[in-house]
Amino acid sequence: MNSDTLSQHPRHGSFGQRLMAWMMSHRSAAYEQAIFARKQALIGGLTGNVLEIGPGAGPNLPFYAAGVRWLGVEPNPYMHTYLMQSIQELGWPAGRYRIDFGDAGGSCLPAEDASLDAVVSTLVLCSVPRPESTLQEILRVLKPGGRFVFIEHVAANYGTRMRTMQNLLQPLWSLVGGGCHPNRETRDSIARAGFSQTDIEQFWYPGGGLVSPHIAGMAVKKV
């Protein structure tokens, strides 16, 4: 992995991106506490070269093991200050990380074919333009046997009141939430993507409103 800390100069962003960066930097401590054990189990065991899609302000950084070489793909230029602050607080040396301000939506991840040991996504697949394309890019850049680990909010079960509300409010939610879709069938998308093994846990985050239904797990690329 290239040791340059910044592979691109951050572009000028929109007011919406600035607002989203501020919101992400003030993410609920209660939420992070609720998913702490899952993050520790999924991220803490990763080794080698790891790409994180949409790392935001860096809430996942403390979970990475010391030997991991980390590449973060974050398109929001206003996240840069918060992300670098998190990296500096952890004391990561320059050669351990790289930040790319390219397309976190996954249409073209900045990595060669079969070059990464793992890819991480937390609360990202809800907002990428084409999740199926993102998952195919993840498969492309993973080495055989490489792991995709994820924690995502997902659509509620069909026929439930929650699912009805997600469907009704999705256009407004996406408009104010940076393209986030509360009713996205992310579990099914991962299951169909072509991984040789998937291990997905469904759980509920109390107090999350429309985004209370969650999944967490790991998918492995065929050897």
Write the DSSP assignment of 85-128 as a string of letters. HHHHHHT--GGGEEEE-S-TTSSS-SS-TT-EEEEEEES-TTTS
In a domain? residue 161: no
CATH number for the domain harbouring residue 96: 3.40.50.150
In a domain? residue 195: yes
- Confidence bin at 104 (pLDDT 50/70/90): low
Greatest Cα pair distance in the chain: 50
The pLDDT assigned to 1 comes to 53
What is the identity of the amino acid at 191?
Answer: A
In a domain? residue 170: no
Domain total in the chain: 1
The pLDDT assigned to 150 comes to 98
- Terminal CA-CA length for the chain: 22
- 60-103 pLDDT, tens digit per residue, is 999 999 999 999 998 887 888 889 999 999 999 989 999 998 76
In a domain? residue 167: no
In a domain? residue 36: yes
- 193-222 pLDDT, tens digit per residue, is 999 999 999 999 988 899 999 999 999 999
Q: Provide the domain limits for residue 193.
A: 15-154+183-220
- 10-21 pLDDT, tens digit per residue, is 455 444 444 554
The pLDDT assigned to 114 comes to 98
In a domain? residue 188: yes
In a domain? residue 176: no
For the entire predicted model, the pTM comes to 0.89
**Strand 213-220 to strand 197-204: parallel, antiparallel, or no bridges (unpaired)?**
antiparallel
Mean pLDDT of the chain: 88
Distance between CA atoms of residues 83 and 92, nearest Å: 12
In a domain? residue 133: yes
The C-alpha angle 114, 192, 195, rounded to 5 degrees, equals 30
Answer yes or no: is pLDDT of 168 > 50: yes
